[in-house]
Structure 1
Amino acid sequence: MIPSSFSALVRAPKVCGRIVSNDRSLYLVETQNEQFHAQISGVMRYQTQDPREFPVVGDYVSFVQTGNVSIIDSVLPRKNLFARRAKDGSHYMQPIAANIDTLFVTVAVNRDFNIRRLERYVASACAFEVPFAIALTKIDLVEEPDLFIESVREILADVPIIALSALDGRGYAELQPFCGPEKTIAFVGSSGVGKSTLINSLLEASIMEVGEIRQTDGRGRHTTTRRLLLHRKDGTAIIDTPGMREFTLAEATQGVSDVFEEITTIAQSCKFSDCRHEGEPDCAVLDVVDDARLESWRKLEREAAFEARKTDRRAAVIEREKWKAIHKENRRREKDRW
């Protein structure tokens, strides 16, 4: 369960473990053979200003076993981290999962299908350099699932697209190449897209609660309320995440460029080098790119630029708060010494 590349980084009496779940300040950490409840150390809690530096599901950590609750003292170097901007306009990032080999952006092909929302998730995956694939669920609910597959392929030509049906098992064999010992896959998407049903099928057990779909709008309700890491019999680690009603980009300027790469390429043929593609003469983009696709690009470009400015301001605040905490701790130690 714990790759040797990570366990080799930890020396006794400390132990290497992986975060399975967390509930507020309490973490569940697994080792090769056991699971422990743990909390972060006082130093980590006191000095960490950026939420991304706290442990998240999927992280490998170093911890010390002390009685009923063990103490996590460090997060080991990550392969990657998938995150979004915290809700309500916050400066902070909200980490979702770490050390992912394949992130499945999960979309149902019923009435909740939204290609623009898909672009948003994919832009974030590209921004954080997380390998991803597209899982189209509930294909048994539509007469022509190939139409949905093609609409995704039009914008993501080189990305694996897997069409799935929990009813008759279609598509599940295509997930197998992404699974195996020391592999970690994760599923993200809106509420009710079938992530829990999909994971139950992969686990060959009814572990995740499954919710009913509302007949009025074809949407589901939250059944997964926290991030959770589970294991298949073949050793695959599977991370389930709660459904997300909204997904705000974070540090995604490059990710947006990657998702809309064709616009950048076509723009080189515009008459003016600073063309904004909003009605300028001889604009190559307006002649070629679909209006809905172009408007989505504009929206995500504006959002990414705004969030980048917010991140720069927040970075300065974090640096000031970090040194303030260090100076405060030094004063406390001086006081205790006397």
Structure 2
Amino acid sequence: MRQSDIPARIVVPFAQNASDNFKRNIPVTSTDDAAASWSIGFPSLTFTPTSAGGSPPDGRDFNGVLNATTALIRAHTAYGILPYDADFANAIGGYPNGATVFSNGTYWTSTRDNNSTTPGQSDAWVNLFAGFLSLNGGTLSGDLHIVDGRGVYTNYLLPQTPGMPIAVQGQLIQNNTPIASDRGNNVPTTYWVGARDDEVRADLQAKLDNEANIRSGADTALRDGINQANANANSRVSKSGDTMTGDLHIVPSNGLYTDHILPQTPNAPIAIQGQLNQNNTPLLSDNGNNVPTCWWVRALINQMLPMDQSKKMVFFQTGVIFDRAHVTFPSVFSSTPDIILVASIGDLDNDTSTYNWTASGCNVRTIDAPNGLNCSILAIGNK
């Protein structure tokens, strides 16, 4: 038979539009002695001459048989493989081994005879394509050998790790030597592609590792810079005002100050070095306000007791105190000071002196000052 011998498809089942008066559904069995059925066909009465009491075949039965037959032929022509039918399966005692049906979006093959189970719900059915890999991917359970007309692949298509792409290596020509193309068509085989892929992967990984190292170093440097900037900012005095917790040493390059630096809080220590008037002579007050500077005092002390890094100087105002009052240094020494100088403020005629020296303070004599005196004290000793 040739493909051209296929007859025209049945588009409309026989007697499809015939009314019930001219078409009868054929039953499996019938109690009518003259009616056709699927089990016996036309009964014996229809084969008996009418002169002997027989009955001719009913035209409605012919239309019913031909209608059912051609409708099924049309369905097979359209479907190819018919859908699973539970009623049909029960009527015939189950599908036979090897029968194929369509159900739930795929095709199923029966693995046993008299199969009345639903496809996909038992091992009595297998997916028709169970032995094939889907275009969406799948897992090979065995080795795959590829043989084509140009050569032989000696290795297998086996992924090295889950999720890795498959590679074919070892295409050979007739003398069993590897080739990197198909000998003229410039289509590289996977033998060369696989090797080149390894090189590209290694080079890319090296570049990624180098980039990661550079980025890590840059991040570390940036983080260190930010930390240092924050530390520097935290250690600076704010222009809007701040409180210093350590000593402040001011040494100008030209040795001149244009104004006084005065403590904002009573008894706060402060020292100004090198303040000069217009004649470049040291000032001992601020032009009449009787606030003594310590330029001259420091110069005198430095002549008597040279300062080094182990020494410190504490200069502060006491506020109003009375005779024999005990004052505490704003910053204690590590031992008894080497020298303590005291002078009254605003009343230079009063005699003042100190005694009972300790690392943290001393007592002050204010002779002939019943109303008390405001004094300035300068102490020098070990830090």
TM-score range, shorter chain: under 0.3
Larger relative contact order (CA 8 Å, sep ≥ 6): 1
Larger of the two Rg values belongs to structure: 2
TM-score (norm 1): 0.16
Which structure has the highest helix share of the two? Answer: 1
TM-score of the two chains, using structure 2 as the length reference: 0.15
